[in-house]
Structure 1
Amino acid sequence: MWPIMTVNITGGTSNSLPTSGGVTTIEARIDPLAKTKPTKRHVVLLIDTSGSMAGDKIDNAKNGAGSALGKLDKEDYVSVLGFDTEVQTVLPIDSWSNIDQKGANKELTNIDSGGGTDIYKGLENARDQLIEHAPNDSEAVKRIILLSDGQDRFDPETYRDLAEEYNECGISIMAAGIGGGYDEEVMLALANGSGGVPADLSQEDIDAFLDETVSDTDQVIVPNPELKIHPAHGFILDDKTVFFDAPKIEQREIDHDQSPPSVGLPELQVGDPHRLTFKILGQPKAGGLSYEIATLRVEDGSGSRVAETTVDVDYTDQAGLERVDIEENRAIAEVTVGIQDPETSETEVREKIKEIEDQGWIDTADELKQKLNTAEEAGGIIRVGKNRLDTED
């Protein structure tokens, strides 16, 4: 029996195929429609309490944490941790209904600043709160909200690996850097690797950021979704990754070891459609007919079906590109991901932009050149908007 419709998925192809076969790009759009039940939230506020946070930064963090706690429902689980080179458990994780709320606010006011910065140790403790001490609930949104203004002893790649481990556990990290002294690449690695969102804050933004980030978790309707890609007979999944161009531009690997192949999706949140692309190879077939090319199924963290659709492709003697927007959006995503990736060279990015020019998408190529130049000026990090590091549509 189908569940109540809370998510809709549709799909289309960029081009028809010749009778000799070939490759087409599938675009899938996933629309979270509405909540049908309360969102379960397991949240850890992880606050840098090192010496550099002294003054307005730590005061705003404490005020923001108090305001954020007020957004919780009684069945939500919450913990507050402070960290410098050691970790202080301000509030051990528990359901909000079991926590003395006046006592919790008093504990927040007692947070003090001093010492160095060890983000890694703070994150390990935050994960333990969520995995070891909170109920094991596949329907719960598990989120670490990290605030830090400092550098750390590990490089971004180490944090990327750590974030991907957290993502496999269903934990996303909202990684917020404060001021100009933090390591932007570390925050990007933590957020992007875990399926979270990075943020670039001034000290005046801290209070509102914590309040809004906790509030936003209430709009998540599927916390740990996967997309199952089931190619039809005569078609082969011809990609190792999918590219998202909404709600933010990113790349995710397809797990070909699963049957059917699958890719982890960002949390599905009301009003936040997801759009992604991947390539399918079709074998030779008779022309003048439409064929089912793939079944796409969205599943939740427990493996239950949330939404499903089939995608068709036409075979014709005059095959060609019908949906220019699909190929153009994919090209934009590929270039933007390349700019973000420290392992992708400038030469590779410029070659991809040249391919876009050769397609005749001149305005798009010019915008991407400007984005690349801006990234180079910022040391390789793309800034979009006043307080965001991620690249959004």
Structure 2
Amino acid sequence: MTVSLSATADSATLPPSGGSPTIKISFSTTGKTKTSRRQVVLCVDTSSSMGSDDADGIRKIERAKRGARRVLDELNPDDELAVVGFDSDPEVVVPMDSWGALTESAAIDAIDSLVASGGTDVYEALERSWQEFGDAGPAVARRIVLLSDGQDFTPVSKYRSLAGDIADDDISIVAAGIGAAYNEDVMIALAEGSNGTPKHLTAATDMESFFREVVSEAGTVVASNPELAIGTGEGFRLEEAFLTPPNPRTTDVSAGDESATIPLPDLTADEDIAVTVRFLAPPRDPGIEYRLAEFELIAGEPLDEASVDVKYVTSEAVTAASEGIRVAHADAKVSAGLRDTGTSATDVRETVDEIERANDEWDDVVTGLRRKLTEAETEEGGAITSGLTKIDPE
């Protein structure tokens, strides 16, 4: 399978005064999909709260165990699996080994041995799950699949640091919370810090399909731990960059940077990922074309590259900007702010106001962004509660 990138600017021309051109970088795959080899740790909350009954009178821990057992039907002989249960302390009930070396009956017995009791220590459970990974070699999708319904009062900053360390070993965390009581800040920090995905499971029954869906998706990975390298042309500078919905997030790009490398989630055959980047263009005389930026997709080795040129023209000759690319960037910027539960609602509102002032004809776009903000605010109008999971505004 071939992975490629394309880069499209909102306009091929700039006025002599310069401006803020925006580019959308998209990734696509072609060819036959081959199932990726997987290393997976299922990290299952077994605290006492998981012993409570759901609406159908079935204990949540039983739903989780059903979900873990369903993963076994998804595995190939060269895949590797471990299962860690945790309350106040983690317990490895299935040590990491290839599925070809494990017996299904032993794995089922180990999963069925999980019992709900005690408190919740997600941090220790993740550290123990991380220790299960050995050398993987290239082109292996590595996942910690975390499920929890409880609170953990370890500072979020420690989770961000841990997620970054785990990501350095090319491991992504898919962090799912069940119900309404779990700490969403923690789940988002873990997922974003490891280029993974945060999930919200509304109903206890969702646990029965959650693990298998994540493991199945890992099998469709076509580029593990990819990065987008960006270089600007002479005189041009980066201003800001965002990953677009459905998994919006901020990046480490800062205004004035000449280059940047943006870590991306694993690229799969079934998921669209895009990045929007806004640049700072200096004033220049009309009539000359310049290289605005160059892009390279890297996943262990270079996969594809693209470049974008812009031509300075007289103000009267400037072509109309692509509204679609500019709208995508505005939506990504606001959505990324809403996704961060520590973001001030005032800051996001000011961003929407700025977008409105800069685009007089964007009434419908601004209305949609304000609806997102309203649905994500707390009743007190202070911090953002959620932009992706517990509320998930359209």
Query: TM-score under structure 1 normalisation?
Result: 0.88
Residue in 2 aligned with 1:124? 127
Moved more, 274-283 or 375-384: 375-384
Q: Does 1:19 align with 2:20?
A: no
Q: Deviations over 1:269-323 (max 9, x none)?
A: 11312221123334555534443322211111x2x11121121212211236511
Residue in 1 aligned with 2:140? 140
SS of the equivalent of 1:38 reads: coil
Residue in 2 aligned with 1:262? 261
Change in Cα spacing, 1:44 to 1:24, as seen in structure 2 (3 Å) is: same
Q: Distance in 2 between matches of 1:79 and 1:259?
A: 43
Change in Cα spacing, 1:39 to 1:389, as seen in structure 2 (3 Å) is: farther
Residue in 1 aligned with 2:302? 305
Deviation at 1:35, TM superposition (A): 4.8
Q: Does 1:67 align with 2:41?
A: no
Moved more, 84-93 or 313-322: 313-322
Residue in 2 aligned with 1:208? 209
Q: How many residues align?
A: 378
SS of the equivalent of 2:28 reads: strand
Residue in 1 aligned with 2:30? 33
Q: How does 1:372-387 map to 2 (within 5 A)?
A: 372-377=373-378, 380-382=384-386, 384=388
Moved more, 259-268 or 106-115: 259-268
Change in Cα spacing, 1:343 to 1:154, as seen in structure 2 (3 Å) is: same
Q: Deviations over 1:245-275 (max 9, x none)?
A: 144211122499x996311111101131222
Residue in 2 aligned with 1:90? 93
Query: TM-score under structure 2 normalisation?
Result: 0.88
Q: Distance in 1 between matches of 2:20 and 2:372?
A: 29
Deviation at 1:19, TM superposition (A): 3.4
SS of the equivalent of 1:369 reads: helix
Residue in 1 aligned with 2:5? 9
Change in Cα spacing, 1:206 to 1:165, as seen in structure 2 (3 Å) is: same
Q: Distance in 2 between matches of 1:60 and 1:225?
A: 34
Change in Cα spacing, 1:171 to 1:389, as seen in structure 2 (3 Å) is: farther
SS of the equivalent of 1:126 reads: helix
Deviation at 1:340, TM superposition (A): 2.9
Residue in 1 aligned with 2:42? 45
**8 Å contact from structure 1 (residues 146, 175) kept in 2:** yes
One-letter code of the match for 1:332? D
Residue in 2 aligned with 1:329? 328
Change in Cα spacing, 1:254 to 1:216, as seen in structure 2 (3 Å) is: same
Q: Distance in 2 between matches of 1:153 and 1:382?
A: 19
Residue in 1 aligned with 2:292? 293
Alignment gaps of 5+ in structure 1: none
Q: How does 1:213-232 map to 2 (within 5 A)?
A: 213-232=214-233
Moved more, 219-228 or 159-168: 159-168
SS of the equivalent of 1:97 reads: coil
Change in Cα spacing, 1:329 to 1:32, as seen in structure 2 (3 Å) is: same
Q: Distance in 2 between matches of 1:43 and 1:352?
A: 39
Moved more, 20-29 or 309-318: 20-29
**8 Å contact from structure 1 (residues 226, 299) kept in 2:** yes
SS of the equivalent of 2:386 reads: coil
Q: Distance in 1 between matches of 2:122 and 2:92?
A: 14
Moved more, 149-158 or 87-96: 149-158
One-letter code of the match for 2:151? Q
SS of the equivalent of 1:141 reads: strand
Q: Distance in 1 between matches of 2:348 and 2:283?
A: 33
**8 Å contact from structure 2 (residues 387, 393) kept in 1:** no
Q: Does 1:249 align with 2:242?
A: no
Q: Distance in 2 between matches of 1:392 and 1:173?
A: 23
Q: Distance in 1 between matches of 2:326 and 2:393?
A: 18
Deviation at 1:68, TM superposition (A): 0.7
Alignment gaps of 5+ in structure 2: 53-58
Q: Deviations over 1:331-380 (max 9, x none)?
A: 22212222333453222222221122221211121122221121114772
**8 Å contact from structure 1 (residues 35, 219) kept in 2:** no
